Structure 1
Amino acid sequence: MQVKMKIALLALLPAALSFHQGANAQSKAFRVRGTVPDILNGHMIYLLRESGKKRIPSVVDSALVTKGTFVINGTTDAPFTATLSAPLRPAGAPAIPGYRKLFINTGDQVVLEQPKVLQARNTLEGARIKGSDYTRQLDELTAYLLPAETGMDSMRKAYSENLRQHGRDTTGSYQYNRKFEEMMVLKASLQQSFLQQHPDYYISLYMFRDLLGGRVKDTDAAATAFAKMRPALQKSALGKEVQELITNSAKFGIDKTAPDFAAQTPEGKTLKLSDLRGRYVLLDFWASWCGPCRAENPNVLKAYQRFKDKNFDVLGVSLDREGDRQKWVDAIAKDGLTWHHVSDLKFWGSDIAKQYMITSIPQNFLLDPQGKIIAVNLRGEALQVALDKLLK
């Protein structure tokens, strides 16, 4: 569903990542200070910076709340998403979480005002923020996407309750998934609308980068959307990263020649992609540990069995780990994957995966006999439909 959302957005438009670093940028000090209810006196308040692809939070600084006030200091060379955390731990009672999302820029002097605890579930619910333009933009985006987020949250809860009451009800699960996808489409539409309304917002560029993923499928649409953003944003460190991503992704567009590579087969022989020239080839990235990949394998197998005698072949590239060679080989045998296979057993550090900008699996490329890319990420019956047209 995430892939569908990204594709839908890019078609209409034409958690970005907090690890973006400013090229040659200098770190500048920022400060977050605030007033909170006296009930938080004597409790710690933390500023958590979200970093890495998984946005794992790390503590930037902390402060003891004294007389209803706190001050937190830090430095940064680029804007980043953060959470101000103020948990309340009453004696003999369960802890009450407290959190407020922030988007901090270099040099920000952030002021938080929280006169009283408004919600028992969050001590910082409704806290007002001053001195942070990017946080204001983030709040606008959050409010704009609220209808879709609320709908998705409702579907998650309904699905969990249905699962609790009826177990793995296939019909019920399908209905909830369909409704959830409807909410994802709504979210994509809202994101598109927000981007069009605010091409001058940094949060728009941030969201756009997030939606592009590890490799851009429709580079023309992405370039068109990026060109509509304010020049200052395009020239920013994040903007340069987006431009580089679009440029590099264009190398894997339709009618582009797939880059050649060589790797070891399970038998220890070297096989090059170019060795399969002259045939239609599905270049399939997968791994034995990847559940969605294993679930997709029967679809690839059906296509292979139908078209292997009609100038069609498959080359599987596994992202299995070093030391897991036997798991890779066993998965090939168990799933009946009787086509070509290679792997350097480097997991996400795979040289081939990096070359093809692979950041999630399963992914595939359909190549013509000249080695040119003619389709990307064909799933389910889509692969057989495409081959039916090509190999009549």
Structure 2
Amino acid sequence: MRYFLIITLMALTSLTESLFGQVKINGNLKALGNSSVLIQYYEGNISKSVNLKVTDGKFSWEAPVTEAQKITMIFPGRAIYLFIEPGNINITGSRDSLEQLKITGSKINDEALAYAKTMKVFEEEQKPLLLQYGKLAGEEKTALEEKLADIVSRKNTAANDYIAAHGQSAFSLNLVTEYSRLGNYEDVLRMYGLLSKKMKSTAEGQRIAERLVILKRSAAGEKIMDFTKKDDKGNPVSIAAFKGKYVYIDFWASWCAPCRREIPNLIKTYNTFKDHNFTVVSVSLDDPTDKDRWLAALTSLKMPWTQLADLKGWDDEIRLYYGFNAVPSTLLLDPNGTIIAKDLRGVALDKKLKELFL
């Protein structure tokens, strides 16, 4: 009897592992033919990728995935995201309409699709405003930016409300992950606090905790990292040289179209407040191959403030320290080198500077 019980328990353990510690995806897509699909995912805290062979539009993948997660599937010429969890998942549809794929067997993916529908109201509000953005100036542009900021604020509130109501959800966990990529410390910490202990203890929850450590470095009240970089003439310049002034550090790159579009606005802001103990320092994230383009951009854009660059691209030590995942990114410092705001631009930046000086 004892041996029978041991064998039974072993069988049950094996069955449990196969059901709850393994994911299996079967795909059958029209117009995919004989090609390949690349899947990027996590096994615990280890980032992995696997290249699957596709035969007549069919492919299959199994992996020891114990926690629900968002993965990337890269088809020839196109990538999609979907949520998976342990169990059997089926994907059907066509390579020509990946946004309409039918995915069954993943409750978290169903949850993600339902959430996306609730967010469409915000997207519909934004679309016509974004189409006008480059066509307006002066008070009209200011009013437009305020409308866009209000939509973003309401969207963030909706996300917080969702996480608060679904703290046990792996989809809520991923929402916090997404906000942590570009968000600020205070907002991400608030969202993280809404998650259950179970979600915080997952591998993804631990990655968010590690991200929060990095985000805290750029939180209001933190001192700026002491750094020295060369200017466009090759002279070393220390950020400490600007102590005693309010300093707006603009992290940008010559290849970044949104960065370049914002510079005329920043020049106006600079000219408005430069006599109020305020200055701007641009830090380029161009790499060595972009040096000529960077210098050409400085000539064409005519920015009347200090330009710094190590030309290390995304390996720039300041970018790595603060964990910026996109440009433009900005920091506003007080005269003591203390960070007082992050990622202020346009109307929001002008409003903050008026509070400080006027």
- For structure 1, the residue ranges without an aligned partner over 5 or more in a row are 1-27, 88-98, 130-134
- 3-state SS, counterpart of residue 378 of structure 1: coil
Q: 1:123 to 1:202 in 2, by over 3 A?
A: closer
Contact 1:47/1:72, CA 8 A, preserved across alignment: no
The residue aligned with 2:119 is: 148
Contact 1:45/1:85, CA 8 A, preserved across alignment: no
Match of 1:210 among 178, 181, 191: 178
Once the two structures are TM-superposed, the CA of residue 78 in structure 1 deviates from its matched residue by 6.3
Once the two structures are TM-superposed, the CA of residue 176 in structure 1 deviates from its matched residue by 11
Larger CA deviation: 271-280 vs 376-385: 376-385
Contact 1:49/1:80, CA 8 A, preserved across alignment: no
Q: Which amino acid aligns with 2:206?
A: K
Contact 1:45/1:84, CA 8 A, preserved across alignment: no
Once the two structures are TM-superposed, the CA of residue 312 in structure 1 deviates from its matched residue by 2.0
Q: TM-score, normalised by structure 2?
A: 0.73
Q: 1:311 to 1:372 in 2, by over 3 A?
A: same
Contact 1:61/1:73, CA 8 A, preserved across alignment: no
What do residues 329-374 of structure 1 show as CA deviations (whole Å, max 9, x unaligned)?
Answer: 2222322212112100112221122122221111221211111112
Once the two structures are TM-superposed, the CA of residue 218 in structure 1 deviates from its matched residue by 4.3
Once the two structures are TM-superposed, the CA of residue 43 in structure 1 deviates from its matched residue by 6.0
The residue aligned with 1:352 is: 318
The residue aligned with 1:197 is: 165
Match of 1:103 among 71, 83, 91: 83
Once the two structures are TM-superposed, the CA of residue 375 in structure 1 deviates from its matched residue by 2.3
Q: Which amino acid aligns with 1:283?
A: I
Whole-angstrom distance in 2 between the partners of 1:44 and 1:123: 21
Contact 2:250/2:331, CA 8 A, preserved across alignment: yes
Whole-angstrom distance in 1 between the partners of 2:272 and 2:152: 35
More helix per residue: 2
Q: Which amino acid aligns with 1:209?
A: T
Whole-angstrom distance in 2 between the partners of 1:310 and 1:51: 50
Q: TM-score, normalised by structure 1?
A: 0.67
Whole-angstrom distance in 2 between the partners of 1:86 and 1:311: 53
State percent identity of aligned pairs.
24
What do residues 16-73 of structure 1 show as CA deviations (whole Å, max 9, x unaligned)?
Answer: xxxxxxxxxxxx6532348x7xx97x96697652469xxxx9764346579xx97543
The residue aligned with 2:39 is: 49
Q: Which amino acid aligns with 1:305?
A: N
Contact 1:264/1:343, CA 8 A, preserved across alignment: yes
Whole-angstrom distance in 2 between the partners of 1:186 and 1:365: 24
Whole-angstrom distance in 2 between the partners of 1:339 and 1:75: 53
Contact 2:52/2:60, CA 8 A, preserved across alignment: no
RMSD of the TM alignment (CA)?
Answer: 4.5
Whole-angstrom distance in 1 between the partners of 2:218 and 2:318: 13
Once the two structures are TM-superposed, the CA of residue 388 in structure 1 deviates from its matched residue by 3.4
Is 1:30 matched up with 2:6? no
Whole-angstrom distance in 2 between the partners of 1:113 and 1:389: 54
Q: Which amino acid aligns with 2:340?
A: I
The residue aligned with 1:128 is: 104
- For structure 2, the residue ranges without an aligned partner over 5 or more in a row are 1-20, 43-47
Describe how 1:228-239 pairs up with structure 2 within 5 A.
228-239=194-205
Q: Which amino acid aligns with 1:61?
A: L
The residue aligned with 2:70 is: 81
The residue aligned with 1:268 is: 234
Contact 1:366/1:374, CA 8 A, preserved across alignment: yes
Is 1:61 matched up with 2:52? yes
Contact 2:40/2:73, CA 8 A, preserved across alignment: no
Whole-angstrom distance in 2 between the partners of 1:183 and 1:307: 28
The residue aligned with 1:370 is: 336
Whole-angstrom distance in 2 between the partners of 1:321 and 1:100: 29
Q: Which amino acid aligns with 1:110?
A: N
Contact 1:81/1:104, CA 8 A, preserved across alignment: yes
